[in-house]
Structure formats: C-alpha cells, structure tokens
Amino acid sequence: MIALGIDIGGTKIAGGIVDDNGSLLDVEYRATDASKGKDYVLEGIDELITELCSRCKPDAIGIGSAGRIDVDSGSVYYATSNLPNWTGLNLKRHIEDRHGIPTIVDNDVNTAGIGEMWLGAGKNEQSTVCVTLGTGIAAAVFVDGKIVRGGRWSAGEIGHMILYPGGRPCNCGQRGCFEQYGSGTALYRSYNERRGEEAIASGRQFFELLATGDIAARDTLDAFISDLAVAFISLANVYDPDLFIVGGGLIDTKEWWWERLERHIREQANPAVASMKLVPAAFKNQAGMLGAAKLGFEYVAELNASK
Ligand SMILES: [Zn+2]
C-alpha cells in the first residue's frame, strides 16, 4: 500500500510518498505563504498532491495541519491567525472532492508524534509524551498505545498549561502559559525583558549571546530550564509516560540545556516519576509526513473493515 503524508507547516508544506513499511519514497515541497490567504494555501496543497499523484497511485492521504482538528469530520475545530480563516474549514471534504482519495486529517503535532511512535524514538513504546519545543510548544500524548485527542480535540496542548497565574499574555487568551516561558520565542523575549530593551529578535541571537558568556543570557537560560523542569514534572505526574520524546527547533540547541534539565527533574520530581526518561526525537522534519501516512493506512483499513 502507498499513502501520501502531507505536513502543513507555517513556512512550508511537505508531501511524501510513503509505503506501508514506512519507507519515504519521494518528497515534494511548496511554500505555505499563509499571508496570501486560505485559498492560496489550499491551492498549494492541491498542487502538491496532484504532483505526487502523477508519480504513484496512493490508497490514502493523511494530512497533519496546525490547529485543533476534528479527526472524525476532518474539519479544523480551531486555528490561530497563523493560518488565516482555517477555523471551520473541512479539509478532508476539500481533498476528497478534488482528488477522490480517502483522506484523514489530524493536528500536525499529533502526526509527528505518530511518526515517532511508528518508526522513531517511540518504536516499541506504549505511553509517551512527544513534546515539540519550537516557536510554540505542544505535545502528542500516547497512553497505553493510544493517542489521546480529547473532547474538543485539544488534548496535548501543553503549551497552554498556566505556569505563572497572571503572567505574560498568550495568543490563546490566557495569561502565564508555559509557551510564553519555555519556547524559542519566549527565550529571546525573556532576555529582552530582563534587559529592559528590545536587544534581540530571535532565538538564534539569544544562543549567540549565550556563547559569548553574556550574564543576562545565562540567567534567562537558568529560568528557562527551571520552567521546563516544572512543566515536565507535572506532565509526568499526569500521564506517567515511559518516555518523553523531545523534538522541535530548540532541540538543535540542546547542548545548552538538556543535561541540566534532566538534573533539575531528577532533583525535584517525586520518587515515583523521577526516573522518567527524556530522549530526543529520531526525526527532524520527516516525522509529520510519516505519521500522516500511517494515519492514512489505518483509515483505509478501517474503511475496508466496515465494508
Ligand atoms: Zn496560551
């Protein structure tokens, strides 16, 4: 069997041809250009699928998209303005009408987690929390071999756990969310806050300063690690995972914080969860495509079983 795995990201749309052994046979990309609007993004997705379909005959299409996705209907339950007018869109219906191939849609962090569980760091595991630390923070949660999606398709939105009541405003409408303290974006904002000026504008600049021995950067990193530890310990007490699988853009800087995060957790967590393990994600950019394709295979099997 062959499935297309489509990963709709903020900057690019990735599409892969995947066989049911998990081999990625071919890959194609398009720029998302979300600022050009919903129709433009959809056109990019359609073009990408048409191109991939000219190279194979897929049995299914799996799609991972930003936003909270109603997996049953294939529509977007809620998405931020990063993908304009995405909320309410029935992506499954759109793709099936256009391409005539059974399609299933899930949240992009979930599809990446499914990819890691299928072929990556979570292979052979049953209970994991797959955390993405990037410009934002989210997780795919697996308990006893099943992904947890929740009543409003919002399970795993760990970036919006409140760490500091009344703290920094978040684009979700709350204040003091984890994402405002533990993400790559938060790192440089925290640094600027500490300095009392807009000194830097990216996570990359932050780590450059850190490498020069900048004291404010060092203090910012200390607070960042401490906040991450608090969040991971809380998650461990809620889900009791065998493993935390950690991916996302910040993983590229892990030599600065990984070991200290592990130490903080060992020192502060209760004995029941202090032995929890953290492992880096096995895939950088392919997990989303692979996981989306895996969902596609499962969906087709389900359709065939109900015939
Ligand atoms: Zn929030």
- Which tokens hold the place of 94? 């759109």
Q: At what angle do helices 215-239 and 258-268 cross, to 10 degrees?
A: 50
CATH architecture of 2-112+285-305: 2-Layer Sandwich (3.30)
| Tokens, residue 103 | 């399609």
d(CA 18, CA 23): 6
Q: How would you write the pLDDT of the chain (307 residues) with one tens digit per residue?
A: 999 999 998 889 999 999 999 999 999 999 999 999 999 999 999 999 999 999 999 999 999 999 999 999 999 999 888 888 999 999 999 999 999 999 999 999 999 999 999 999 999 999 999 999 998 999 999 999 999 999 999 999 999 999 999 999 998 999 999 999 999 999 999 999 999 999 999 999 999 999 999 999 999 999 999 999 999 999 999 999 999 999 999 999 999 999 999 999 999 999 999 888 999 999 988 999 999 999 999 999 999 999 8
State in Å: Cα 246 to ligand 1 middle. 20
**Fold classified for 123-280:** Nucleotidyltransferase; domain 5 (3.30.420)
Indicate the angle between helix axes 287-305 and 108-119, nearest 10 degrees.
90
CA of 179 to the centre of ligand 1 (A): 7
Question: What pLDDT does residue 275 have?
Answer: 86
Ordered alpha helix ranges (H), the chain = 38-53, 91-99, 108-119, 179-182, 184-195, 203-211, 215-239, 258-268, 287-305
Q: How far is the CA of 125 from the centre of ligand 1 (A)?
A: 29
Confidence at residue 94, expressed as pLDDT on a 0 to 100 scale: 98
Q: For the chain, give every residue range classified as CATH 3.30.420.40.
A: 2-112+285-305, 123-280
Cα-to-centroid distance, 166 and ligand 1 (Å) = 12
Neighbours of ion ligand 1 (CB under 5 A): 160, 170, 172, 174, 177
**Do residues 180 and 133 lie in contact, with contact meaning Cβ atoms separated by under 8 Å?**
no
